[in-house]
Structure 1
Amino acid sequence: MAKSFYPWHFQPNLNLDTWPSKPPTPRNTTGRLKAAHGNFIQYPTFNIMAIVATNLKKGQCIKYEGETGVVLNLEHRTPGKGNALIAATIRSFQTGKTKTIRFASSEKVDIVETDRQKLEFSYSDPAGFHFMDLTTYETITLPTTMMEDHVDYLKEGLEVEVLFIEGNAVTVTLPATVELEVTESSEGLKGDTANNPTKPATLETGKIVQVPLFIKQGDVLKINTEDGSYLGRA
């Protein structure tokens, strides 16, 4: 049976420098009980491990002040008087806001378990984007709100990586490049080489990119998923 994930909290982008406010998605995992409360579905959390603040590392996900967030930066401070402190810059998954939290160096901090899964894109429909879990071969459905920044690069069989935190899908990461076929491209006009060294080409996903004049319909191109630029023929 297909599994569906629906928005819950605000999600970050995996790139810590850019953090759009989009909701992550609760993962409906086999054997995990769920309880519906109004329009929300709550799931039990993963195991949480406590460590002393001095052992915190950038990129770790922690519990703090009733929220869950990722550590963006750490600064060890030793005041003139008193105990050493750890100043942690944290970005909340719930709100997307950044805050600096100060911990005593020996203070216990709860580390949240994370999980990364490889999923293979199958198809999309009004219900969402359907993927196959490459480990269990189950169908997993992610909502359009989670995939809207990636639709230009999705084709059947593409593998993506999904980050889960506390059982919730938080981000989807595409491969650095994808190979897409040109479905439409006009012929370059004589003399265009000097004035217009590139021309638009429509790819199989509907994305339009600027390509060299020699590119023609049917060519398979390598596209950078970071900025959508043409890298060459595959």
Structure 2
Amino acid sequence: MAAAANDLRRGMANHRTPANLRAFVQAIIRYINTGKSADVRFGSTDKVELVDIERKQIEFSYKDHNGYHFMDPETYDTVTLQDNLLGDAKDYLVENTQVQVLYAEGKAVQVEMPASVSLKVIESAEGLRGDTASNVTKPAKLETGKTINVPLFIKEGEVIKIDTRTGDYMGRA
């Protein structure tokens, strides 16, 4: 489906009208095949090819040497995704985690995690009594293998909430 460059919504593109030049539309686009972004300019009469994106909710099942296996809860179909598509999301995946997958032309192109996940602390050093005067943190290893900084009062075996966008501790679950 083609659309005029002027029809792109705000947030997708900026319409610019410099003093001595013709108006143009400036946009940051992402190539679906490579995942890389590029800054491009279109004339206001140019046509832009839009891609139909399908969004599906799937559930993480398990990981093996072939990749990360997910199940579609509606059809019970299994989908296998590779490390490079998941990116940092693989650091927050535990069994039964629900994620959104974006499909373009039948191919998975992006994985969106929920804003926060609850994970169990499996390894953490003990906090010292005298270190509580300021916001002091210590490293803690989570059940997925990721290490993050947590407050001193967090102990092994506790379940904590983590922001998947920043990787920061949010609180106890």
Shared fold by TM > 0.5? yes
Match of 1:202 in 2: 141
Is 1:164 aligned with 2:115?
no
Specify the alignment match of 1:73 in structure 2.
13
1:226 aligned partner: 165
**Partner AA of 1:102 in structure 2:** F
Note closer, same or farther for the CA distance 1:220–1:76 as it changes in structure 2 (3 Å cut). same
Q: Verify: 1:89 aligned to 2:41, yes or no.
A: no
Identity of aligned residues (%): 46
Alignment correspondent of 2:8: 56
1:184 Cα offset (Å): 1.7
What code does the residue aligned with 1:216 have?
Answer: K
Q: What SS is found at the alignment partner of 1:151?
A: helix
Q: Answer yes or no: is the 8 Å Cα contact 1:85–1:102 preserved in 2.
A: no
| Structure 1 residues 203-232: Cα deviation after superposition (integer angstroms, max 9, x where no partner) | 111122222222112111001111211111
Aligned-CA RMSD value = 2.6
Give 1:51 deviation, angstroms: 3.0
Structure with bigger RCO (C-alpha 8 Å, 6+ apart): 1
TM-score by length of 1: 0.64
How many residues in Structure 1 have an aligned counterpart in Structure 2?
Answer: 171
The structure 2 residue matched to 1:144, chosen from 83, 86, 104, is: 83
TM-score by length of 2: 0.83
Q: Secondary structure at the match of 2:132?
A: helix
Contact 2:83 2:90 in 1 (8 A): no
**Which residue of the other structure, out of 41, 48, 65, is the alignment partner of 1:126?**
65
> Alpha-carbon deviations, 1:73-120, whole Å to 9, x = none?
231549889xx7542324241452524232343x54332211111111
List runs of 5+ in structure 1 lacking aligned partners. 1-48, 60-71
| CA–CA separation in structure 1 for the residues paired with 2:88 and 2:5 | 35
The answer to whether 1:183 aligns with 2:135 is no
Work out the CA distance in 2 between the residues paired with 1:174 and 1:135: 19
